Amino acid sequence: MKKIYEGKAKILYQLEDPETILMVFTNQATALNGKRKEDIAGKAILNTQISTLIFEWLESVGIATQFIKKIDDDRQVVKRLEMIPLEVVVRNRVAGSFAKRFGLEEGGVLSKPTVEFFLKDDELDDPFVNVSQLTSLNKITEEECQTISDLALKINDKLIQLFDEAGLILVDIKFEFGKDSSGNIILGDEISPDNCRLWDKVTEEKLDKDRFRRHLGSLTDAYEEVSKRLDAVIAHQK
C-alpha cells in the first residue's frame, strides 16, 4: 500500500479504490508541537475505539463525515478527502493557549463558543490565522470559512450534549475538514481525547491529553474511562 501521509498520531495509506484511504492510528503521543514524543501502549486502540464511536454517532445525528468503517483494533477505512490545511478549534471554556494568550484562569465559561483557525504547518508551529489573512493568502474563500465555522459550531453543540450525558465537560476541541469528491466540505480526521479537552463534570478531573502534556497521570486509564462512558451512553440511546 502506498503511504500518503504520516502525521504525529496517524498514518494514511491509499487503498485500491481511489476514493478510500486506510487510517492507521499509532501509539505516539506528542507535546510542544512534536518536540516531546512518547509511545504509549494502548493509545492507538483506545483512540480508534473512541473516534469510531463518535464518528458513527455524528453520522447517526446527520453530520457527514469522512468515516466509513472500523476494520481492526487500530484501523479505519475512510473516504478520500482533499484536506483543508487548518486546525479549527472551538472553545466552550477558557483553557490551554487561550488562557495563556489572554492571561485568564482555566475553567471560565465563555458567553458563547468561539472558533479559532490555526494554519496546519509543523514548520511554523501551526500559527493562529484570521479569516482576512486566510482569504488574502488565497488559502480558502470567505464562503468556505463561513461553512467551516458554522459546521464546527454545529458539531460542537452536538458533542457538548453527548459528552454531557457521559458526565463530561467538553472544554474545547480541534476539528479538521476536507472536501469530498463532489466538493462538499465534511468533517475528517479523528475525534478523541488527543484533540479535545474533557473534564469530569463532578470533579473536573482532566481526562484528555493534558494528562500527558502536564504529567498528570495515566493517559490510557483516562481514555479507557472516556471510551467506557461514551459506549454506555450511545448503547443506551439505541
Interacting residues with ligand TMP (CB under 6 A): 87, 89, 95-98, 126, 172-174, 195-197
CB of 53 or CB of 198, closer to ligand TMP: 198
Closer CB to ligand TMP, residue 189 or residue 225? 189
Maximum Cα interatomic distance, the chain, rounded to a whole number of Å:
50
Pick 133 or 237: Cβ nearer ligand TMP: 133
- Residue 138 beta carbon to ligand TMP: minimum distance, rounded to whole angstroms: 24
**Type of residue found at 81:** L
Q: How far is the CB of 89 from ligand TMP (least distance, A)?
A: 5
Beta carbon of residue 216, minimum distance to ligand TMP (angstroms, whole number)? 15
Nearer to ligand TMP, 98 or 199 (CB): 98
Q: Which residue is nearest to ligand TMP (CB)?
A: 96
25, three cell numbers: 492510528
**Choice between 14 and 114, CB closer to ligand TMP:** 114
Question: CB of residue 34 vs ligand TMP: minimum separation in angstroms?
Answer: 9
Residues 85 and 121: beta-carbon distance below 8 Å: yes
Residue with cell 470559512: 145
Please name which of 28, 24, 27, 5 lies closest in space to residue 70, comparing C-alpha atoms. 24
In the block, residue with C-alpha cell 484528555:
208
Nearest to 85 by CA among 189, 177, 153: 177
Q: Tell me how far, at minimum, the Cβ of 195 lies from ligand TMP, in Å.
A: 3
Phi, psi dihedral angles at 220 (to 5 degrees): -70, -30
Place of cell 478549534: 89
